[in-house]
């Protein structure tokens, strides 16, 4: 018979959490009754034991049952927040329970399949790097210093992950450029499309003058 104390109980709870196991009361009472009884004896309640293990009990209750729909919803929620959804990040730190649930055969069988079901491009997700406000700003300033085109159309073609992250972090591409200390209006006016348009406009005007 296993001997329990507060630390061993907390360690077991944490291990189950990292493995993606549901920690809601009903699941634990069915599958880990010895752990539940020990928790009640040493902590007075299952909630107190979970919180002692430094796990948010409200999140345990909220995500107590994973379904395909709930997995998709959670992936999209994290995506909108601009989180790194690469397998390594999600399974090791961001949301191990989500990763474990998504890869179960009864759900999607793989992280790639779950990402696709959520309407996201797995190849883009796989290449995704950890973008935060400072990372986006540094990248924009670096590209500007190198003389690279920073109009939205050019960046979408050159680095879709950058412009996607910038729009998540700053709401719009212009705001991201401004935050990086760049002149958004000037950059837009320098776009190949605008230059071409202006050139055609000038040619039309010149043609009209010549016709007169």
pTM above 0.85, yes or no: no
For tokens 């919180």, what's the residue?
Answer: 51
Cβ contacts of 169 within 8 Å, gap of 6 or more: 82, 131, 132, 133, 136, 176
Contact 128, 161 (CB under 8 A): yes
Give the C-alpha distances (Å, rounded to integers) separating 61 from 25, 39, 77, 91, 190: 8, 17, 18, 20, 53
Give the C-alpha distances (Å, rounded to integers) separating 202 from 189, 198, 207: 15, 6, 8
Give the C-alpha distances (Å, rounded to integers) separating 124 from 14, 86, 94, 105: 32, 9, 18, 24
Q: Is 112 helix (H, G, I), strand (E, B) or coil?
A: helix
Going residue by residue through the chain, which has 212 residues, state the pLDDT in tens, using 9 for 90 and above. 678 999 999 999 988 888 777 788 878 888 899 999 999 999 999 989 999 998 888 777 655 578 899 899 889 988 887 778 888 888 887 888 888 889 999 999 999 999 999 999 888 777 655 677 888 899 899 999 998 989 888 888 887 778 888 887 888 899 999 999 999 888 876 654 444 444 454 454 445 544 44
pLDDT at 5: 94
Cβ contacts of 178 within 8 Å, gap of 6 or more: 184
pLDDT at 40: 93
pLDDT at 121: 87
pLDDT at 201: 47
Whole-angstrom Cα distance, residue 212 to residue 141? 48
pLDDT at 209: 47
Whole-angstrom Cα distance, residue 35 to residue 8? 10
b/e per residue 57-70 (b: at least 16 CB within 10 A): beebeebeebeeee
Contact 36, 28 (CB under 8 A): yes
């Amino acid at each position: 018979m296993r001997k329990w104390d507060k630390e061993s109980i907390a360690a077991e709870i944490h291990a189950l959490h990292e493995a993606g196991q549901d920690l809601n009361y009903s699941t634990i009472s069915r599958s880990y009754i010895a752990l539940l009884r020990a928790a009640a004896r040493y902590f007075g309640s299952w909630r107190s034991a979970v919180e002692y293990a430094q796990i948010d009990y409200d999140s345990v209750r909220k995500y107590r049952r994973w379904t395909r729909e709930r997995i998709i919803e959670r992936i999209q929620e994290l995506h909108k927040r601009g989180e790194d959804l690469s397998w390594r990040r999600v399974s090791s730190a961001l949301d191990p329970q989500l990763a474990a649930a998504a890869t179960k055969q009864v759900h999607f069988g793989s992280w790639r399949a779950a990402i696709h079901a959520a309407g996201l491009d797995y190849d883009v997700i796989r290449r995704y790097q950890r973008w935060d406000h400072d990372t986006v700003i540094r990248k924009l300033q670096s590209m500007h210093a190198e003389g690279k085109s920073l109009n939205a159309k050019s960046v979408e073609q050159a680095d879709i992950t950058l412009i996607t992250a910038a729009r998540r972090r700053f709401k719009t591409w212009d705001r991201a450029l401004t935050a990086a200390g760049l002149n958004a209006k000037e950059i837009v006016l320098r776009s190949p499309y605008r230059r071409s348009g202006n050139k055609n406009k000038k040619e039309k005007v010149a043609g009209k003058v010549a016709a007169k």
